[in-house]
Amino acid sequence: MAAKICTFICAAAFAGCAVAGGYKTAGIVEISTNDTSLLVSYTEDKIPHFEYFGKKIKSPKYFEGNQSVTQSDVGEEAPLYSERGGKNFLEPAIEVIHPDGDLNTELRFAGAEKSVSADGNVETTIVRLADKKEKFFVNLRFKAFRKENVISESAEIVNGGDADMKLRKFVSGYFCIRGRKYFLTHINGNWANEARVSEAELTRGITAIQSRKLVRTTLSENPAFMLSLDTPRNEESGEVIAGALAWSGNYKLEFEFDEFGHLNIIGGILPCEYILKKGEKFDTPELILTYSPDGAGRATRNLHDWARNYGVYAGKSPRPLLLNCWEGVTFNVNEPVMREIMDDASKLGAELFVMDDGWFGVKYPRDDERAGLGDWQVNPKKLPNGLAGLADYAASKGMKFGVWIEPEMVNPQSELANTHPDWIVGFPGRDKPQIRNQWLLDLSNPKVQDFIFGVFDGVLKSSPNISYIKWDANRHLESVGSAYIAQNEQERFYIDYVRGLYNVYARIRAKYPNVVLQACASGGGRIDYGALKYNDEVWGSDNTNPFDRLFIQYGETLFYPVKAIGAHISKTPCRNFTTSMKFRADVAMMCRLGIEMRPSDLTDDETADLKRAVETYKKIRDVVCEGDMYRLVSPYDNRNFAATAYVSKDKTRAVAFIFCINDKTTTDRPYFKIGGLDADKKYKVEEINCPSKLSPQSGKVLSGEYLMNRGVNPRFRTGALSAVFELTEVK
The binding site for ligand DGJ (CB under 6 A) comprises: 326, 356-357, 404, 472, 474, 520, 522-523, 539, 542
Closest Cα to residue 34, out of 113, 120, 115?
120
Measuring CA to CA, how many Å separate 705 from each of 8, 42, 206?
A: 48, 49, 45
Our measurement of the distance from residue 492's CA atom to the centroid of its chain's CA atoms, rounded to an integer in Å, reads 24
Min separation Cβ 470 and ligand DGJ, Å: 6
Min separation Cβ 545 and ligand DGJ, Å: 14
Strand spans (E) along 597-704: 628-633, 641-647, 653-660, 682-688, 701-703
Min separation Cβ 544 and ligand DGJ, Å: 10
In angstroms, the CA 351 to CA 306 distance is: 27
Min separation Cβ 412 and ligand DGJ, Å: 17
What is the DSSP secondary-structure string of 413-431? BSHHHHH-GGGB---TTS-
Contacts of 396 (CB under 8 A, 6+ apart): none
Residue 340: other Cβ atoms inside 10 A: 16
**Which CB, 357 or 528, lies closer to ligand DGJ?**
357
**Which CB, 286 or 542, lies closer to ligand DGJ?**
542
In angstroms, the CA 26 to CA 44 distance is: 5
Measuring CA to CA, how many Å separate 94 from each of 99, 109, 243, 580, 583?
A: 16, 16, 20, 54, 50
In angstroms, the CA 287 to CA 247 distance is: 9
Min separation Cβ 125 and ligand DGJ, Å: 40
472 as an active site residue: the answer is yes
**Which CB, 382 or 653, lies closer to ligand DGJ?**
382
Task: Report residue 430: phi and psi, to 5°.
Answer: -110, 155
What is the DSSP secondary-structure string of 268-318? EEPP--EEE-TT-EEE---EEEEEESBHHHHHHHHHHHHIIIIISTTTTSP
Min separation Cβ 358 and ligand DGJ, Å: 8
In angstroms, the CA 504 to CA 507 distance is: 5
Identified catalytic residue from 35, 356, 442, 472: 472
Min separation Cβ 331 and ligand DGJ, Å: 8
**Which CB, 496 or 596, lies closer to ligand DGJ?**
596
What residue type is 72 in one-letter code?
S
Min separation Cβ 417 and ligand DGJ, Å: 18
In angstroms, the CA 322 to CA 403 distance is: 12
CB 617 within 8 A of CB 589: yes
Report the alpha-carbon angle 74-76-82, nearest 5: 60
Q: Taking each helix axis as running N to C, give the angle between helix 335-348 and helix 604-626, from 0 to 180 degrees, rounded to the nearest 10.
A: 70
CB 292 within 8 A of CB 240: yes
**Which CB, 411 or 722, lies closer to ligand DGJ?**
411
For residue 84, what is the DSSP state? S
**Which CB, 145 or 471, lies closer to ligand DGJ?**
471
Contacts of 452 (CB under 8 A, 6+ apart): 407, 408, 441, 443, 504
Min separation Cβ 407 and ligand DGJ, Å: 13
Min separation Cβ 612 and ligand DGJ, Å: 25
Q: End-to-end alpha-carbon separation of the chain, Å?
A: 41
Residue 655: other Cβ atoms inside 10 A: 27
- In the three-class reduction of DSSP (H, G, I as helix; E, B as strand; rest coil), residue 621 is classed as helix
**Which CB, 91 or 542, lies closer to ligand DGJ?**
542
Q: How many CA atoms lie within 13 A of 343 on its CB side?
A: 7
- In the three-class reduction of DSSP (H, G, I as helix; E, B as strand; rest coil), residue 511 is classed as helix
Identified catalytic residue from 356, 496, 528, 542: 542
**Which CB, 52 or 539, lies closer to ligand DGJ?**
539
Contacts of 105 (CB under 8 A, 6+ apart): 83, 84, 85, 86, 94, 95, 96, 98, 131, 134, 136
Contacts of 487 (CB under 8 A, 6+ apart): none
357 as an active site residue: the answer is no
**Which CB, 324 or 634, lies closer to ligand DGJ?**
324
**Which CB, 85 or 540, lies closer to ligand DGJ?**
540
Min separation Cβ 531 and ligand DGJ, Å: 15
Contacts of 454 (CB under 8 A, 6+ apart): none
**Which CB, 31 or 527, lies closer to ligand DGJ?**
527
Residue of minimal Cβ distance to ligand DGJ: 357
Residue 66: other Cβ atoms inside 10 A: 10
Contacts of 74 (CB under 8 A, 6+ apart): 22, 23, 47, 86, 87, 88
**Which CB, 359 or 657, lies closer to ligand DGJ?**
359
Active site residues: 472, 542
